[in-house]
Structure 1
Amino acid sequence: MTVINKADVRKETPFRFDNVGSFLRPDELKAARQAYANGSISGQELKTVEDDAIKALITKQKESGLKAVTDGEFRRSWWHLDFMWGLQGVEKVDVDNGYQFNDEETRAESARLTGEISGENHPFVEHFKFVQQFADDEVVARQTLPAPAQFLSELQRPENLEATNAIYPDKDELIEDIAAAYRTVIKDLYTAGCRSVQLDDCTWGMLVDENYWASRNESVSVEALSRLYVTVNNKAIENHPEDLTITTHVCRGNYHSTWASSGAYDKIAEVLFGEEEVKAYYLEFDTARAGGFESLANVSDDKLVVLGLFSSKYPELENKDEIKQRIEEASKYVPLERLCISPQCGFASTEEGNILTEAQQWEKLRLVREVAEEVWGK
């Protein structure tokens, strides 16, 4: 079924054809990172390789038609931990167990508190400045960050809880300091020219997963954790400048083409879609694990939804007609003019990357663009 062409071109994020942020690391970048870890090249030599790789990536993003470009997270090992390690009062630690994905476990690293949290002099600000120099009237530089709720969740892992409670016996103070640290970073990014911040957040995907709850012993509810997460997220972005667009991306895990959780948005839709003070939601909808579109009825009337209908995990290209049919189904709950499309997640949430080639990555984005233009116009 064909969706009516609206000839509607958006001028600010999110865009009709969009991407979540991360890209497959080229081989030369992977080799340089390994050489730096082994001590055979300096930090400056690594930065030079990163700079060159990011320049080439931004050129490819522009050529693909993307209007919001990122550094591909090329300076990071993880989509979330590197940001946490850059905050004051946080250290990188090795732990006994990695994150558990479907039939695969990640590297075992985490972020642990050493003192009170603050956000001054975060290295991501300098990283953003490098990308910002390539922005122009047609292209926006976007900064992706793990959501405050994701940081809170990391600090409450069993391996980190003793340190967290020792420094913050009062959870309210912990939430206030997390939020304040984020506000500092966001303010510094804004001063550096940033007008598009995306908060990546897997906490909601875990909340809707039955296996997640089966493994927990404490008596805490989906409702209670939903309220906690939306509170810390909203506190972190309150009073941000009107011309700064803040969006959020929600998925169920993305590591080496595997996934971590399953479940529809229904249980958390009222809080997440109705109360989180973001401009738009980038949502995973590429498989049945994410459920149907009915929960989108809870999205506030002033917000947009980016439908993650394409898989970044696999090289196989989706069927255009099927994608258009799904867009039409979603438009029953959110009007077409408030919808956009993208892959369900980045192509490399960690430096390992998903199991597809760079060429296949760009072919996937080419398809997303074609569908967007056929639905909304060029």
Structure 2
Amino acid sequence: MLSKVSSFTKPFHSPFRNDIVGSFLRPARLKKARQQFAEDQLTATGLKKVEDELIIDLIKKEEDVGLQAVTDGEFRRSWYHLDFFWGLQGIKKIQTAGWQLHDGTRARGEGAELTGPLGGRNHPFIEHFEFMKDHISTGIEVKQTLPSPALFLTQLEFPNVIDKTKQIYPTEDALIKAIAQAYDEVLADFYKHGAKIVQFDDSAWSNLIAAKIVDHHTNNYNEFTLSELNTLKQKLLKVNNLTIAGAPDGLIINAHICRGNYKSNWAYSGSYANIADPLFTQEKINAFYLEYDSEHDGGFDVLKKISTDKWVVLGLLTSKNGKLEEKEKIMQRIEDASHYFNLDHLCLSPQCGFASSEEGNILTEEQQWAKLRLIKSITAEIWG
């Protein structure tokens, strides 16, 4: 069993030993305010006041539990991804059938569609970041979570919107370049305002993990051929790496590789083996946040594919339910992972956010914080 190893290097930047993915359960007061705003019973100013107060309270709770990089819990968003897309130039909000989950149910049906050339100027998330920066304590960093460029690419190539996409960008290469340019405009703006850490939440790879994709019209799963799988992997890698290459020097960019997270449900399961090459071998990312909360998520052997200069954040505690994991079992799993990837470059977090959409997962706020306290206790015992 692992014991405290004080000689190991402590991360001086993101990721930190005890970390988070980003989203937190929305307090009842926030849910009520958002409902009132939707029903024209509360002004935008009134809603922002509630958000501001609850985010300030959240920051204090994050700091108290020992986090060195904090988020706003995505309290100003409805989704982990769509709100960012809707804030770009050339995008509008649309209604969809909703993506299918592993048990056949569907998520709330909203999406994004192209209306014109893409742009990332004056994104509303910049103001959200500024608010965070004004309310954190000295020595604490803000982690800005964003959906990945690869996820945006897949959104714009969904069957229900691809015809509109091709009207603006007739070739996929032109679309990929436009996405990277729009993202880099946003990233440059974040950096100019003092951002040091950006995390790409990337569920675009989830169907490739299982080597199959759901047909949202028939609810049947279609298997990828090897050629199709390789083509899809390369285009996701291309748009992510092109964006990273154009990002400001000095901006830390990490990635959370997600299998889907909606009201304690998910879209796909399986080992990372199908995507380890090229994702782990070629993506120019600083750290991978990986989901390992279930026996269905595969083994740690694929970690050998990741270069030793990168960091791996093990998502060993589930955000899908409130049952508190056993400390000894989590420490044993970290030891198991260390056989394949240097313990000095491992960190610990929940497997995903607690509320990738505003509905949130099925657990209580106290259970949420108990998991983070456990993570802090484990990392202190192993790394000091």
Q: Let me know the Cα RMSD of the aligned residues.
A: 1.5
Which residue number in structure 2 is paired with residue 6 of structure 1? Answer: 6
Q: Give the partner amino acid of 2:125.
A: F
- Aligned equivalent of 2:193: 192
1:215 pairs with one of 218, 221, 239: 221
Normalising by structure 1, we get a TM-score of 0.96
Aligned partners of 1:309, 1:216: CA distance in 2, in Å? 30
What one-letter code is carried by the residue in structure 2 that aligns with 1:100? Q
Provide the rounded CA distance (Å) in 1 between the counterparts of 2:212 and 2:32. Answer: 37
Q: What is residue 153 of structure 1 aligned with on the other side?
A: 154
- Name 2:17's counterpart in structure 1: 16
**What does residue 301 of structure 2 align with?**
294
For the residues of structure 1 that align with 2:249 and 2:122, how far apart are their CA atoms?
24
Tell me, in whole angstroms, the C-alpha distance in 1 between the residues paired with 2:238 and 2:88. 20
**Alignment partners' CA distance in 2, 1:145 and 1:241:** 16
Report how far residue 51 of structure 1 moved. 0.5
Unaligned runs of 5+ in 2: 215-219
Question: Residues 121-270 of structure 1: matches in 2 within 5 Å?
Answer: 121-212=122-213, 215-216=221-222, 221-270=228-277
The match for 2:359 is 352
- Equivalent residue number for residue 37 of structure 2: 36
Identity of aligned residues (%): 49
Could you tell me how far apart the structure 2 residues matched to 1:339 and 1:134 are?
A: 29
Query: Which amino acid is the alignment partner of residue 312 of structure 2?
Result: V
The farther-off stretch of 74-83 and 101-110 is 101-110
Indicate if the aligned counterparts of 1:222 and 1:268 stay in contact, CA closer than 8 A: no
Equivalent residue number for residue 56 of structure 1: 57
**Partner residue in 2 for 1:69:** 70
Distance in 1 (alpha carbons) for counterparts of 2:139 and 2:12 = 9
Cα deviation for residue 160 of structure 1 reads 0.9
| Partners of 2:160 and 2:33 in 1: CA distance | 31
Match of 2:271, SS state, is coil
C-alpha distance in 2 between matches for 1:183 and 1:3: 42
How far apart are residue 158 of structure 1 and its match? 1.1
1:326 and 2:320 correspond: no
The alignment of Structure 1 onto Structure 2 pairs a total of residues equal to 376
State the distance in 2 between where 1:284 and 1:148 align.
20
> Tell me, what secondary structure is at the counterpart of 1:101?
coil
Contact 2:316 2:348 in 1 (8 A): yes
Instruction: Verify the 8 A CA contact 1:15 1:67 in the aligned structure 2.
Output: yes
* Aligned counterpart in structure 2 of residue 310 of structure 1, from 299, 309, 317: 317
- Match of 2:264, SS? coil
Tell me the amino acid that sits aligned with residue 372 of structure 1.
T
Alignment of 1:91-102 (within 5 A): 91-95=92-96, 97-102=97-102
> Which sections of structure 1, spanning at least 5 residues, go unmatched?
none
- Specify the code of the residue in structure 1 equivalent to 2:287: A
- Residues 239-260 of structure 1 show CA distances to partners (whole Å, capped at 9, x for unaligned) of 4333211100012111111111
Deviation at 1:128, TM superposition (A): 0.7
SS at match of 1:113: strand
The letter for the 1-side match of 2:221 is S
CA distance in 2, matches of 1:12, 1:286: 25
> Cα distance, 1:137 vs. partner?
3.8
Q: Which amino acid aligns with 1:290?
A: D
Q: TM-score, normalised by structure 2?
A: 0.95
Aligned-partner Cα distance in 1 for 2:325–2:364 = 16
Residues in 1 aligned to 2:252 and 2:366: alpha-carbon distance in whole angstroms? 31
CA distance in 2, matches of 1:321, 1:191: 43
Deviation at 1:99, TM superposition (A): 1.2
| Aligned counterparts of 1:241 and 1:121: Cα–Cα separation in 2 | 17
Q: Give the CA deviation at 1:263.
A: 1.2
Matched to 2:92, the amino acid is E
Following TM superposition, by how much is the alpha carbon of 1:167 offset from its aligned partner in structure 2, in angstroms? 1.3
Q: Distance in 1 between matches of 2:72 and 2:169?
A: 34
How far the C-alpha of 1:217 sits from its partner, in A, is: 8.1
2:100 alignment partner AA: Q
Please tell me the residue identity of whatever aligns with 1:278. Answer: I
CA–CA separation in structure 1 for the residues paired with 2:99 and 2:206? 14
Conserved? CA contact 2:211–2:224, under 8 Å: no
Structure 1 equivalent of residue 348 of structure 2: 341
